[in-house]
Copies of this chain bind each other. A is one copy, B any other.
């Protein structure tokens, strides 16, 4: 439905994926080499690598050392993807908090299998190296740095972030960056910077419950836009919605959306930024999962296409490097001065020791190596989960196959009450995140978000089997 044409690599990947699904390319078959494909099609090696990376992360092909790319034998069976939902057209005041606190409050017990958790397993992160970095940085800390850093954040970290963003195609202005207490604070500050109570904000459908809570806290109204489980926000639906009513901002997660895992294709991201710029509508971009891609390269954030200073880019190290450190940032474009002032007024500054620890860790150069291992672990676990779901869940269950992040979104057969399923699972010490959490008007009643970011949890397989059994029972009992 998007007006944005697919890129060359997307065309190639789609073509090969069709061939694999249709059986034209058979399991175990070797794909043409990168060099061959370049010659044949007159495209660059990086385009081919990108397409193969996409297919690899979709679980359709695999790379074998020094032999090339092969169609996988054990690729996930063809569970269909969930369908995009048609949201209500009118803006609704948000009151989802009570439900969120009720459902999530009970899922943090260590004895509960954390399929409903929002976090990956902490042992995936380099806490020892971070502690060494922290100790080193704190020894070197000069008292004068304390008063120097304050609101905008520690200068070495800001510089490292700007450097990294520039390498990823997102040049940031010198004074655009504010270090925050995690992405959550960044998003809240940005939201407050561009809205007044009563304003309408467009969110995805389904959307991350914390976005709904943030809207609720600031007395804003949400309007949900149709969102494809694979490709993200539907631009035509968005245009129609913006024609209907004044909108103060959009809050989207263009890369590995929570809960869908949707990744907006590059061209669609660019079109989104350009269309919003024509209407002068700010885009709050939640990019906390951007580094957790399973393909060959980091998807560019929407911020990469921001010419008008209207994209408020928010991210953090909480999902990629240092959970619990609460170090995030906002690159808020033309709203940066407002965001800085709000930061001063709400929490003055971000804690210095964790900023120094991360800055030192980044300077040591191990971040990308860590990220490669992390992505690999998450991708492997996703494949494992998809096979278990295929085996244990009722026919008609649809599931996403995201190219990054660590969530799966399940559409159970209609009639299955996912909230009841959640409660039954909790009685067996298995948490889930039922779909009603992800909508201002309690839709997605037969949907579940499952966390597949706990690769070494021995209870995982049994938990998915039990969930599947519960879903079977629910179906049998459904009207």
Chain A interface (Cβ within 8 Å of chain B)?
97, 101, 108, 110, 117, 119, 121-123, 125, 127-128, 130-131, 134-135, 138-139, 141, 143-150, 180-182, 184-185, 188, 192, 197, 210, 213-214, 216-217, 219, 323-327, 341-342, 344-354, 357
Q: Cβ of A121: which chain B residues have Cβ within 8 Å of it?
A: 143
The answer on a CB contact under 8 Å between B110 and A122 is: no
Q: Which B residues touch A347, using CB under 8 A? A: 180-182, 184-185, 188, 326, 347
Closest B residue, CB atoms, query A316: B348
User: Cβ of B147 and Cβ of A138 under 8 Å apart?
Assistant: no
User: Known contacts A131-B141, A134-B135: does B345 contact A346 (CB below 8 Å)?
Assistant: no
Q: When the two chains form their complex, are residues B353 and A353 in contact, meaning their CB atoms are under 8 A apart?
A: yes
CB-CB under 8 A from A197, the residues of chain B are 197, 219
Pair B326/A350 contact, Cβ less than 8 Å: yes
A and B contact pairs by CB, cutoff 8 A, 7 listed: A119-B146, A134-B134, A135-B135, A138-B357, A184-B346, A192-B217, A197-B219
Task: Please give, as numbers and ranges, the residues of chain B lying within 8 Å of A123 by CB-CB distance.
Answer: 143
A390 to B457 alpha-carbon distance, docked (Å): 71
Query: In angstroms, how far is the closest chain B Cβ from the Cβ of A370?
Result: 14
Residue pair B131, A144 in contact (C-beta under 8 Å) = no
Cα–Cα distance between A210 and B344 once the two chains are bound (Å): 9
Of all chain B residues, the one with the shortest Cβ separation from A124 is B143
Alpha-carbon distance between A12 and B143 when the two chains are bound, in angstroms: 42
- Known A-B contacts A134-B138, A147-B119; the reply to A325 vs B345 at CB < 8 A is no
Interface of chain A, helix or strand or loop or mixed? helix
Q: Which residue of A188, A348, A349 has the most chain B CB atoms within 10 A of its CB atom?
A: A348
Our pick among B135, B324, B345, B346 for the contact of A131 (Cβ within 8 Å) is B135
Which residue from B139, B149, B214, B351 sits with its C-beta under 8 Å from A181? B351
Residues of B within 8 A of A216 (CB): 345
Q: Smallest CB-CB separation from A139: which chain B residue?
A: B131
User: Other than the known A188-B347, A351-B354, what 9 A-B pairs have Cβ atoms closer than 8 Å?
Assistant: A97-B345, A110-B144, A125-B143, A131-B135, A138-B357, A145-B324, A146-B323, A149-B324, A182-B347
Task: Determine if A348 and B184 form an interchain contact, defined as CB atoms under 8 angstroms apart.
Answer: yes
The answer to whether A138 touches B141, judged by C-beta atoms less than 8 angstroms apart, is no
**B residues within 8 A CB of A131?**
135, 138-139, 141
Which B residues are CB-close (under 8 A) to A326? Answer: 347-352
Q: How far is the CA of A27 from the CA of B266 in the complex (A)?
A: 82
Give the CA-CA distance A149 to B123 in the complex, in Å: 16
**A353 and B350 within 8 A (CB):** no
How close is A383's CB to chain B, nearest CB, in angstroms?
A: 24
Contact, CB under 8 Å: A217 / B108 = no
C-alpha gap A182/B150 in the complex (Å): 12
Min CB distance A371 to B, Å, is: 18
Q: A101-B341, A351-B327 are in contact. Are A143 and B127 (CB under 8 A)?
A: yes
A122 touches B134 (CB 8 A): no
Chain B: CB-nearest residue to A323: B146
A346 contact set on B, CB distance < 8 A: 184-185, 188, 217, 346
A100 to chain B, nearest CB (A): 9
Q: Please, which residues of chain B bring their CB within 8 A of the CB of A323? A: 146-147
A90 and B48 CA atoms in complex are apart in Å by: 70
Task: Return A129 CB to nearest CB of chain B, in Å.
Answer: 11
Contact indicator A325/B348 (Cβ below 8 Å): no
Of the candidates B101, B138, B146, B351, the one whose C-beta lies within 8 Å of that of A135 is B138
A128 partner residues in chain B, CB cutoff 8 A: 139
Could you say which residues of chain B place their CB within 8 Å of the CB of A141?
Answer: 127, 131
Q: How far is the CA of A144 from the CA of B456 in the complex (A)?
A: 14
Q: Collect the chain B residues with CB atoms within 8 Å of residue A350's CB.
A: 181, 326, 351
In contact, A353 and B134 (Cβ under 8 angstroms): yes
Give the complex CA separation of A352 and B345 in angstroms.
22
